[in-house]
Amino acid sequence: MADWSNLNLKLTGAVLSQYPGPAVLVEMDGKTFSANPAAKPLAETLASDPDGPLAKLIGVAARKQTPQSTQLRIPSDLGPLTYDVSAIPDANGRVVVLGVDLTFEANLCSALVDSRERFKDLVDISSDFAWEINREGTFSYVSPKGAIGYSSEYLIGRNPKTLLLSQPVLDEDTPFLTRTEVDSQRVWTVSAAGAPVCLITTSAPLYDSHGQWAGARGMCRDVTAEEERETALARARNRERLLSQLVRSFRDKIDPREMLTAAAQALVREMGAQGCRIFHLSRDMQEEGFADAFIAVADAGDWGGDALSTQLLSGLASGSQHLEMVLEGWQVLAHATVYKQRVNGALSLWRRASTMPWGDDERILIGDVSKQIAVANEQMALHEKMVELSRTDPLTGLFNRRAFFQELDRRYSRIAAGHGQGALLFVDLDNFKLVNDVHGHNAGDKALLEVKRLLLDHTRPTDLVARMGGDEFALWLDGGDETIAVDRARAILKASHTLLRFSGDPAHPLNLSLGIALHQPDHPETLEELLHRADGAMYDAKRKSKATYCIASPMGDDGEYGEGSYCVDLTRDKDFTK
């Protein structure tokens, strides 16, 4: 042991300042004689805590005249400071305190320990798992809780390739056996339950001192749920994009039928279908549930045939709102169009059975599109209702005056160009005003409805029947000659006895007067001329005797019309009065 009592240390402030760490020279009375800048915390500690650990260390060194060492932690504003301190006495009773600042190392060690504990806790509570592969290419370590449904004991010693959903071309292509660092690579594996699991993997290879591959280690995180959400969001965004394109393709159309045609064309184009048909179900038939109540209103692409349509609509009519079937070599996807919880039509798509089957996105998309088609179907129904109201008489439902003239003009132009025949009949009620005056307008309405029934019962579906206003009606008999026109007029007049019960009084019975004008192909005339002749014949019938018919005089060879009309006195007609 060295004889410290003979050591005479002649230390000055200049010498202390050369020491790389904290250095303090303490007098026998314990007061600091000199200290370098690095020793400021030690000097302040001596001054503020004369009975503290550092002061005691110096006292022991001075008393025993032997160096003393210890480790001190000194609080500060920046956190605790750690020093390795030695107190060395000299022959003059002074003590030199030399220190080594261990604060960085101590803090680093503490941080590493704390970080390691935190990392271990995070791994334990998260979906992450750590692993290590040995040079044989098998797991040598797996986090204690295991991975993707397998226990760590099961995985140890197994090749990681047995977990992969698809096998790599080369071993090093998988992050488990990588030869280079891998950062956040997605790997699809198979869980213990057989379900696909997506792992985000970060790993690094291990090499021995000879540069030979010795394995790999890394971390994996299960992101299957996030991957499924991202995939679902991407698919939803794609559906929204397609739906937006589809809606844009037909929303600017004014006419509902044009809108539906544009929609069918867009669906074929955007959904990879070979054909599309859109059906409308009228309000009158929506409660019936019959397949033939569906009317095709728009087509696009190749049609799969009437048999396909029949089977498809039979399924929809039975109450199914979504249908998917294979029929006659076609795979069909159909959806009812529902507006305010009421089926008002259907949308169908088809493509060859040999092509790709319909997917979930397409099933969802056709459901979304069907909602838009339902609105268009409803608009079409309202449009047609408005057209119908503008063309029909509100009481009888027959053509009104405007619609009759429009349709008559079209038909008359056709027969005039083709030299066909036709007969125009004007019908007027006799003594109708008295019905309203005596029995009221409700009885008058019933009488008008009875006239409607009489006219429809004695005409064909192809003939035109209209209420021209008030108590005037009109008939157009397509292809009708004089024989047909007279037969119809006589039949109507004979059946008109049902009107007598509405009469205002027995002296003024409710009857019909008819005027007939025949179109003659060999004597062309304008429609206005034909109308004028029929109107004149009707008034001749009313002036003559009422309850009869008159036939307008035909045009002569000189191009002039004869005077008046030929009227029949039915009271003298034995066949009529039987």
Q: What is the pLDDT of residues 358-411, one digit of tens each?
A: 888 888 888 888 888 888 888 888 877 787 778 899 999 999 999 999 999 999
> H/E element holding 108?
helix 103-125
**What value does the mean pLDDT take over residues 140-154?**
91
Number of domains in the chain: 4
Do 430 and 493 contact (CB within 8 A), yes or no? no
- On the 0-12 / 13-18 / 19+ scale of CB atoms within 10 A, 531 is middle
Q: Which two tokens stand for residue 88?
A: 């060395």
Helix, coil or strand: residue 7? coil
Asked if residue 392 is part of any domain, the answer here is: no
Q: What is the pLDDT of residues 425-460, one digit of tens each?
A: 999 999 999 999 999 999 999 999 999 999 999 999
pLDDT value at 125 more than 80: no
- For 110, 332, 508, 514, the CA distances from 356, given in Å and listed in that order, are 61, 12, 78, 67
To the nearest whole percent, how much of the chain has pLDDT over 70? 85
Q: Is it the case that residue 345 has pLDDT exceeding 90?
A: no
Residue 505 lies in a domain: yes
> Would you state the pLDDT for residue 380?
81
**What percentage of residues in the chain have a pLDDT greater than 90?**
35
Q: CA 17, CA 33: separation in Å to the nearest integer?
A: 13
Average confidence (pLDDT) over 73-81:
83
pTM of the model: 0.48
114 falls within a domain: no
Within-domain flag for 228: no
d(CA 28, CA 24): 13
The CATH number for 17's domain is 3.30.450.20
Whether 423 and 452 map to the same domain: the answer is: yes
To which H or E segment does residue 17 belong? helix 13-18
Ordered DSSP codes for 32-43? EEEE-GGGHHHH
Question: Per the domain annotation, does 393 fall within a domain?
Answer: no
Contact present, 192 and 149 (Cβ < 8 Å): yes
Asked if residue 498 is part of any domain, the answer here is yes
What separation in angstroms does the CA of 229 have from each of 41, 236, 242? 57, 10, 20
Region at 23 (left for phi over 0; alpha for psi -120 to 50; beta for the rest): beta
Final residue before a domain boundary, out of 362, 386, 410: 386
- Considering the domain architecture, whether residues 168 and 80 belong to the same structural domain is answered as no
> How buried is residue 195: exposed, middle or buried, by Cβ count under 10 Å (0-12/13-18/19+)?
exposed
Q: Please indicate, yes or no, whether residues 380 and 412 belong to a single structural domain of this protein.
A: no
Q: 467, 393 in Cβ contact below 8 A?
A: yes
Q: Quick check: 1 pLDDT over 60? A: no
Question: 267 and 197 in one domain?
Answer: no
pLDDT at position 14, please? 57
Identify whether residues 207 and 87 lie together within a single domain. Answer: no
Tell which of 222, 257, 272 closes a domain. Answer: 222
Instruction: Tell me the per-residue pLDDT of 279-319, one tens digit each, with 9 for 90 and over.
Output: 888 665 555 445 567 788 888 887 655 655 666 667 666 66
Question: If we measure between CA atoms, which residue out of 302, 304, 247, 298 comes closest to residue 270?
Answer: 247
Q: How far is CA 427 from its chain centroid?
A: 57
Count of beta carbons in the 10 Å neighbourhood of residue 117: 10
Residue 513 · residue 542 · CB < 8 Å: yes
CB 351 within 8 A of CB 272: yes
Q: What does the pLDDT read at residue 474?
A: 96
Q: Is 432 helix (H, G, I), strand (E, B) or coil?
A: helix
The pLDDT tens digits of the residues spanning 216-237 come to: 999 999 999 888 898 888 888 8
Of 50-59, 199-208, 501-510, the least confident: 50-59
Residues 96 and 137 in one domain: no
Residue 395 belongs to some domain of the structure: no
Instruction: Pick the closest to residue 548 from 537, 536, 561, 534 (CA basis).
Output: 537
* 542-557 mean pLDDT: 81
Counting beta carbons within 10 angstroms of the beta carbon of residue 339, is it exposed (0 to 12), middle (13 to 18) or buried (19 or more)? middle
Q: Are residues 413 and 547 in the same domain?
A: yes
The residue behind tokens 């692993």 is 131
pLDDT for 5 equals: 39
- Identify whether 161 is part of a domain: yes
Give the tens place of pLDDT for each residue, 2-26.
Answer: 443 334 444 455 567 778 888 888 8
What's 516's domain CATH number? 3.30.70.270
Question: Does 208 lie in the same domain as 290?
Answer: no
Q: Is 27 buried (19+), middle (13-18) or exposed (0-12) by CB count in 10 A?
A: middle
Do residue 349 and residue 476 come from a single domain?
Answer: no
Say what the pLDDT of residue 353 is: 86
* Residue numbers of the domain that contains 147: 126-222
Same domain, 520 and 561: yes
SS3 284: helix
Task: Give the residue from 222, 253, 272 where a domain finishes.
Answer: 222
**Inter-residue contact 171 to 135 (CB < 8 Å):** no
Paired with 141 in beta bridges are: 132
Same domain, 572 and 436: yes
Residues 180 and 311 in one domain: no
